[in-house]
Amino acid sequence: MPSTLFDRLWEAHVVAELGGGWALLHIDRHLLHDLSGSGGLATLAERGLPLNRPDLTFATADHAVSSAPGRTGETYDQGAPLYRVLREQSQKVGIPFFDIGQRGQGIVHVMAPELGITLPGTTLVCGDSHTCTHGGLGALAFGIGSSELVHVLATQTLRQKKPRQMRIVYEGALKPGVTAKDLALHVIGTLGAAAGTGHAIEHAGPGIAALPIEARLTLCNMSVELGSKIALCAPDQATVDYLRGKPFAPAGADFDAAIADWSELRTDDGARFDREALFNLGCVPPTITWGTSPEHAIAIDGTAPDPCAAPDAARREAWQAALDYMGLTPGQKLCGTPVDWVFIGSCANARLTDLRDAARVVRGRRVAAAVKAWVVPGSVEVKDAAEAEGLDEIFRAAGFEWREPGCSMCVAANGEVVPPGRRAVSTSNRNFVGRQGPGARTHLASPASAAAAAIAGAIADIREI
């Protein structure tokens, strides 16, 4: 019977079939961050359990550390205990801890791919819902809860139920200036935030093959906002080129052997999916959210919807509540709406190509007087690489703050918030009520659109600036 890429990855990791669709899986890589990993390591220590595979476990602090220039792991006092536990327990159990200021520190979903910790064909977990990001390199990666996390630390295995499968096929090519973030928002806006619930999604087709790896990581990152814990892109030559020479990737003859293995990681012709969807990349406009769910996404030159036109009563109510929270009226044009904050960062869009996209728009221009604008690189690697090509200077000269790597204002778990009632254009992945701080109003968009908003002082169409 023809197999899917997902079937292949799943079957290669089954330690035992448990019946009823459940299996015990081997876990090849485990990432720990300060919010969820610290608690897991502390529980392990309290229970006197040894860490099963320190060589497959990696830790860094990202959520609850300050992003202020000159910060230490303890600058944000409420996050300091989490940072200390993660650092001390990591040292005790003998796992790499990528400390503040060191190469490797950064948002787990940014640093692991760029170090080659994430590899095609591996299973990778983290106590974090955006772990689906790593599927962009062909890893079977998903977020886990706190008791699952302790189970992985103690056994290097996990009991999981095999999900249903969905394939989204992409044809054509993105128009100039339109990015993977616009695509992800467009897909979520079209299919709805629950379209992938209970499914592993394979992003496939010629459109994906033409997307660079960082764009695939962005698309897979946003897949959890479609309801799916797992997203995948089949590895190809771009994946090989991206991983070659990465510090944790295999080297020499091992790398050649790995390439041969990775070439088997494909969906067969005729393989069956429970759900399929098709998108033409050429039809994707620059896209932005107007409301409080990533599915509240529209073309940037569009207007906020009228709840009277909602397809059902539940959505009528949700749209009205979202408009009220966002301070928008039905039919209001988004372009031209004044913004107070611009945040360029997060595991969706804080990689080097994202910063380049934003810098291209910013170069030689000034941030509008009323706007506070931040760039928070996703990792030390990204920050160093961006500085080496002078991107920090472009941002600083325009009036942006150039900050230290971490999650920062994406989730505001480090005290960095958009003030109540203020409007932000953000390159992050969630616009939930209060996500960037109590009362904060978030519009999700691409790095180029966020940069354009900072310059214009209002939501702006990058095709027109």
Q: Which residues bind to ligand IPM, rule: CB under 6 A? A: 35-36, 63, 127-130, 143, 411
Please identify which residue in the block is written with the tokens 């969905």. Answer: 166
Pick the closer one to ligand SF4 by CB: 376 or 456. Answer: 376
C-alpha–C-alpha distance, residues 202 and 167, integer Å:
5
Nearer to ligand IPM, 73 or 143 (CB): 143
Query: What does 346 bind: ligand SF4, ligand IPM, none (CB cut-off 5 to 8 Å by kind)?
Result: ligand SF4
Whole-Å CA distances, 394 to 401, 442, 460 = 11, 25, 20
- For residue 20, the minimal CB distance to ligand SF4 (Å) is 32
Q: Closest distance between ligand SF4 and the C-beta of residue 400, in Å?
A: 18
C-alpha 109/C-alpha 89 separation (Å) is 21
CA-based nearest residue to 431, from 451, 449, 446, 445: 445
CA distance 230 to 214: 17
Q: Which does 143 bind (CB under 5 to 8 A by kind): ligand IPM, ligand SF4, none?
A: ligand IPM
In the three-class reduction of DSSP (H, G, I as helix; E, B as strand; rest coil), residue 123 is classed as strand
Q: Which is nearer to ligand IPM, 199 or 435 (CB)?
A: 435
Residues 6+ apart with CB under 8 A from 323: 290, 291, 304, 307, 329, 330
By a kind-dependent CB cut-off of 5 to 8 A, residue 292 interacts, out of ligand SF4, ligand IPM, none, with none
Rounded to an integer, what distance in angstroms lies between the CA atom of residue 386 and that of residue 136?
22
Which residue's CB is nearer to ligand SF4, number 27 or number 413?
413
Which entry of ligand IPM, ligand SF4, none binds 185, CB below 5 to 8 A by partner kind?
none
Q: Report in angstroms how near the CB of residue 105 gets to ligand IPM at its nearest.
A: 16
For ligand IPM, which residue has the nearest CB? Answer: 129
User: How far apart, in whole angstroms, are the C-alpha atoms of residue 390 and residue 364?
Assistant: 13
Contacts 24+ apart (CB under 8 A), 11-17: 12/121, 13/123, 13/140, 15/157
Residue 62 or 114 having the CB closest to ligand SF4: 62
Q: Exposed, middle or buried by CB within 10 Å (0-12, 13-18, 19+), for 114?
A: buried
When CB distances are held under 5 to 8 angstroms depending on the partner's kind, the choice from ligand IPM, ligand SF4, none that residue 107 binds is ligand SF4
Compute the least distance from the CB of residue 128 to ligand IPM, in Å. Answer: 4
Q: How far is the CB of 107 from ligand IPM (least distance, A)?
A: 9
Smaller CB separation from ligand SF4, 128 or 340: 128
Binding site for ligand SF4 (CB under 6 A): 62-63, 107, 109, 128, 130, 346-347, 407, 410-411, 428-429
121 binds, among ligand IPM, ligand SF4, none (CB under 5 to 8 A by kind): none
Residue 172 three-state SS? coil
Give Rg (Cα) of the chain. 21
Q: At closest approach, how far in Å is the CB of 348 from ligand SF4?
A: 7
**Whose Cβ is closer to ligand SF4: residue 109's or residue 441's?**
109
For ligand IPM, the closer CB: 145 or 327: 145
Indicate which of ligand SF4, ligand IPM, none lies near residue 428 (CB less than 5 to 8 Å, by partner kind). Answer: ligand SF4
Between helix 447-456 and helix 352-362 the angle, nearest 10°, is: 30
Closest CA to 85 of 40, 29, 144: 40
Q: List the single partner that 200 binds among ligand SF4, ligand IPM, none, CB under 5 to 8 Å by kind.
A: none
**Nearest CB to ligand IPM, comparing residues 267 and 414:** 414
C-beta of 64 vs 187, nearer to ligand SF4:
64
- Please choose which of ligand SF4, ligand IPM, none residue 362 contacts, taking the beta carbon within 5 to 8 angstroms, the exact cut-off set by kind: none
CB of 145 to ligand IPM, least distance (A): 9
Taking the least distance from each CB to ligand IPM, the nearer of 239 and 414 is 414
Q: Which does 36 bind (CB under 5 to 8 A by kind): ligand SF4, ligand IPM, none?
A: ligand IPM
Length of the chain, in residues? 465
**Closest CB 148 distance from ligand IPM, rounded Å:** 12
In 254-306 the beta strands, taken as DSSP E runs, fall at 275-280, 287-289, 297-299
Q: Minimum CB separation from ligand IPM for residue 129, in Å? A: 3
Angle, CA 338 vertex, CA 459 and CA 401 arms, to 5°? 80
In this structure, which amino acid lies at residue 327? G
Q: Report the nearest approach of ligand SF4 to the CB of residue 128 (Å).
A: 5
Instruction: Round to whole Å and give the CA distance between 326 and 130.
Output: 25
Asked if 358 and 344 count as a contact pair (C-beta separation under 8 A), the reply is yes
Q: Which does 35 bind (CB under 5 to 8 A by kind): ligand IPM, ligand SF4, none?
A: ligand IPM
CB of 406 to ligand IPM, least distance (A): 11
Listed in sequence order, the residues at least 6 apart from 378 whose beta carbon sits closer than 8 Å to its beta carbon are 106, 107, 110, 111, 345, 346, 347, 350, 351, 405
Ramachandran class of 42: left when φ > 0, alpha when ψ lies in -120 to 50, beta otherwise: alpha
